[in-house]
Amino acid sequence: MTVPQHLLLVVAGPGGAASSIVEAEAGHPQLSVLDVAATRGDGIFETLSIGAGHPQALQAHLDRFARSARMLDLPVPDLAVWRDAVLTLAALLADHDEAWVKIVLSRGIELPGAAALPTGWAYGTVSPEFRRERTEGVDVVLLDRGLRSDVSATSPWLLAGAKTLSYAVNRAAVREAQRRGADDVVFVSSDRLLLEGPTSTLVVRRGDELATPPDAFGILPGTTQADLFAAADQWGLTTAVVPLAPDDLGAADAAWLVSSVRHAAPVRSVDGTALEVDAPLTAAMNGFLRARRS
């Protein structure tokens, strides 16, 4: 069975603002070898889950896209055009229960003496199968990110908390986890506070409370985590955004790595030590996330 792939180019207008959408062939070359997306990873992206043709947490993703653009001093994205691109792709994927769309904005082609014109595109396809991760859970290891938890305030040029195209470190962290016999990672700051996963937000349950680390620690504000926290009262839970240490994860009643496409993956072990999997709450979380219609 052929996996559907759809691509839209978001063409920049005067001043770098997105001004139009052009359909393109996803299987054909589209990106210049001079584009800094490829040569320097100088750009931003967002990945949105599409449920039966409905983009999930669309406004939150667009807001975060604009936030990342500000952090990288990129031209202000025309969010109305990017919204149209996502909705167009979502409609093309409406026959599939779970799909995803990635929107990308780079600084553009780098030429001496010339101002770069941003490059943008939106790509959509069907989601992979995540049944195992959502039910059996994932084994994680704690890895030092090598940055203090106050890095956003002390060193904003390090772009902690921006969703950039520079993902080599995140991919290297997952490979290190696999070398250790695990599936995924929770980063820890150099002052020993829990942060996030390479592509996910950490959520822990302590009794009747769901907790997550604050994005002031230089982590990406989680759109999926925000939706789960907004729905927590329907499961009889309260929420808290608080500093968490490694011992808090080991002592948690349950924990999850949550993200836009994989949704809620329960953590079943941390550095080889088993953690309880809350199967009923995990199923409720994933049912809620799959059913979102905005």
Helix 223-231 / helix 279-291 crossing angle, nearest 10 deg: 110
What's the confidence (pLDDT) of residue 182?
A: 98
Please count the structural domains in the chain. Answer: 2
What's the confidence (pLDDT) of residue 273?
A: 98
**CB count, 10 Å around CB of 293?**
9
* Same domain, yes or no: 137 and 261: yes
What's the confidence (pLDDT) of residue 241?
A: 98
**CB count, 10 Å around CB of 181?**
10
- pLDDT bracket for residue 164 (50, 70, 90): very high
What's the confidence (pLDDT) of residue 112?
A: 80
Task: Report the alpha-carbon distance of residue 84 to residue 216 in Å, rounded.
Answer: 31
Taking only Cα atoms into account, the Rg of the chain, rounded to an integer number of angstroms, comes to: 19
What's the confidence (pLDDT) of residue 11?
A: 86
14 has pLDDT over 70: no
177 has pLDDT over 80: yes
| Domain containing residue 250: CATH number | 3.20.10.10
* Same domain, yes or no: 110 and 141: no
* Same domain, yes or no: 137 and 122: no
pTM of the model: 0.94
Amino acid (1-letter code) at residue 276 = E
191 has pLDDT over 90: yes
116 has pLDDT over 90: no
208 has pLDDT over 90: yes
* Same domain, yes or no: 73 and 140: no
- pLDDT bracket for residue 16 (50, 70, 90): low
Nearest to 187 by CA among 200, 175, 197: 197
88 has pLDDT over 90: yes
Q: Mean pLDDT over residues 11-37, rounded?
A: 84
* Same domain, yes or no: 286 and 147: yes
* Same domain, yes or no: 104 and 205: no
* Same domain, yes or no: 87 and 228: no
Are the C-beta atoms of residues 292 and 223 closer than 8 Å to each other? no
Domain boundary among 88, 105, 127: 127
Looking at every residue in the chain, the average pLDDT score rounds to 95
* Same domain, yes or no: 136 and 115: no
> pLDDT for 248-286, tens place per residue?
999 999 999 999 999 999 999 999 999 999 999 999 999
What's the confidence (pLDDT) of residue 18?
A: 55
Which spans in 130-278 are helix H? Answer: 131-135, 151-154, 168-179, 223-231, 246-250
* 282 phi/psi in degrees, rounded to 5: -60, -45
Nearest to 155 by CA among 218, 77, 94, 210: 218
Domain boundary among 104, 127, 150: 127
* Same domain, yes or no: 94 and 237: no
| Pairing verdict, β 238-241 and 254-259 | unpaired
* Same domain, yes or no: 156 and 272: yes
84 has pLDDT over 90: yes
* Same domain, yes or no: 146 and 195: yes
Q: Mean pLDDT over residues 110-120, rounded?
A: 81
Range of the domain at 28: 5-127
What's the confidence (pLDDT) of residue 40?
A: 94
